[in-house]
Amino acid sequence: MNNPAMTKEALLALSPDALDALERKIAGKYMHRVPWGAVAWALSNLMVWLSLWPLVLFDYLSIWVAFPIAVLNVALSYLPSHEAQHSIIAREGHPLRWLNELVGHLSVIPFAQPYRVLKNTHMEHHAHSNHPELDPDYAVHAKDDWAFLKNSILRRQPAGPAQKAYGDAMARIGKSHMLIDALLFNLVFIGVLFTMAWTGHAIEAALLWWLPRHIAQTYIQYYLSWAPHHPGVRQERYGQTRSFKSKVGNLLSMGMQYHIVHHLYPRIPLSSTPAAFHELKPILEIRGCDVGGWAETP
């Protein structure tokens, strides 16, 4: 903490309004930037994943080399769309709005999930984080890592509640008609799997899409939903998320160590959340936020 104006004593001496203003001023420094890295990430990730199919089918690349790449591609497909869901690339009315929507729709193709449904249910998650009935991601909560894994696998079984929460959320906000997107995505997904399987390419379909999607779903749920919201009991603005120090580092934990900044200021691009978090940390500690392993005092 180099800035003397940001010592705990100095911050505690500020009026609530002054503290709010300081927090917003710091957060504002990191907003209104077009995250070109996320745009490049979205499009290149999709291109790599799409290129795996002909490369494998025409024997230019072993399926065993392509499989881990496909897992990586599917796991990396969600976050650029997440930037678009929050209109971080370009808000409505901005000349680059088309790019925001293009990234939103295209990047999640490997994930086989529709942008409009993801966006609307995600907004409900932000509006009602950790609410047992209203947060569509609430069911992801579990007491520890292993309980999460077991829960994640069981939730997506045919009788599991994985998709019901999203359907219910869309109905609640009067956007059930957008579930047609989910239907179409699922039709294309199983259509590709079935066609590949019955033309002698079942293993390729399984290792380029079906299994990577399952692995990526678990990974994304763990780092984007479970870890930053655990234990998932607080619902107020400064308590609904936490920061944490990941054993696998910031890249492999998908930047979610600083998810608390995202919930407080969703328009800050993912790439800027580490810097924003470290600058905001003294204020967040005063607010009673759980800053996890980043806390200066025990």
Give the residue from 75, 53, 69 showing the smallest Cα distance to 215.
75
Q: Which residues, numbered 188-217, are part of the site for another protein (CB under 8 A)?
A: 190, 193-194, 197-198, 200, 202-203, 205-206, 210
Q: Which stretch binds another protein (CB under 8 A): 51-59, 70-78, 158-166, 224-232?
A: 158-166
In a 13 Å sphere around the CA of 204, the CA atoms on its Cβ side amount to: 21
Q: Which stretch binds another protein (CB under 8 A): 13-21, 29-37, 89-97, 148-156?
A: 148-156
**Interface with another protein, residue 258, by CB under 8 A:** no
# chain residues binding another protein, by CB under 8 A? 22
Q: Which CB atom, from 155 or from 259, has the smaller least distance to another protein?
A: 155
Report the residue from 154, 171, 188, 252 that binds another protein according to the rule CB under 8 A.
154
State in angstroms the smallest separation of the CB of 145 from another protein: 18
If you ran DSSP here, which 8-state letter would residue 10 be given?
H
What is the Cα–Cα distance from 258 to 244, expressed in whole angstroms?
7
Q: Which CB atom, from 19 or from 197, has the smaller least distance to another protein?
A: 197
Give the residue from 113, 223, 228, 227 showing the smallest Cα distance to 162.
113
Q: Mask of contacts with another protein, 159-188, x by CB under 8 A?
A: xxx---------------------x--xx-
What is the Cα–Cα distance from 189 to 173, expressed in whole angstroms?
27
Give the residue from 43, 30, 124 showing the smallest Cα distance to 81.
43
Q: Which CB atom, from 80 or from 110, has the smaller least distance to another protein?
A: 110
Report the residue from 86, 116, 122, 155 that binds another protein according to the rule CB under 8 A.
155
State in angstroms the smallest separation of the CB of 160 from another protein: 4
**Interface with another protein, residue 19, by CB under 8 A:** no
C-alpha distances (whole Å) from 173 to each of 45, 114, 127, 236, 266 are 32, 17, 12, 21, 20
Q: Which CB atom, from 200 or from 249, has the smaller least distance to another protein?
A: 200
Helix (H, G, I), strand (E, B), or coil: what is residue 208?
helix
Report the residue from 2, 3, 157, 297 that binds another protein according to the rule CB under 8 A.
157
Instruction: Mark out the alpha helices in the chain (DSSP H runs).
Output: 8-12, 16-29, 36-57, 63-75, 78-85, 97-107, 115-127, 145-155, 164-172, 179-198, 202-205, 211-220, 227-229, 249-252, 259-264, 273-286
**Interface with another protein, residue 286, by CB under 8 A:** no
Q: Token digits for 192?
A: 């590709």
Q: Which CB atom, from 44 or from 195, has the smaller least distance to another protein?
A: 195
Q: Which CB atom, from 10 or from 153, has the smaller least distance to another protein?
A: 153
The site for another protein (CB under 8 A) is made up of: 153-155, 157-161, 183, 186-187, 190, 193-194, 197-198, 200, 202-203, 205-206, 210
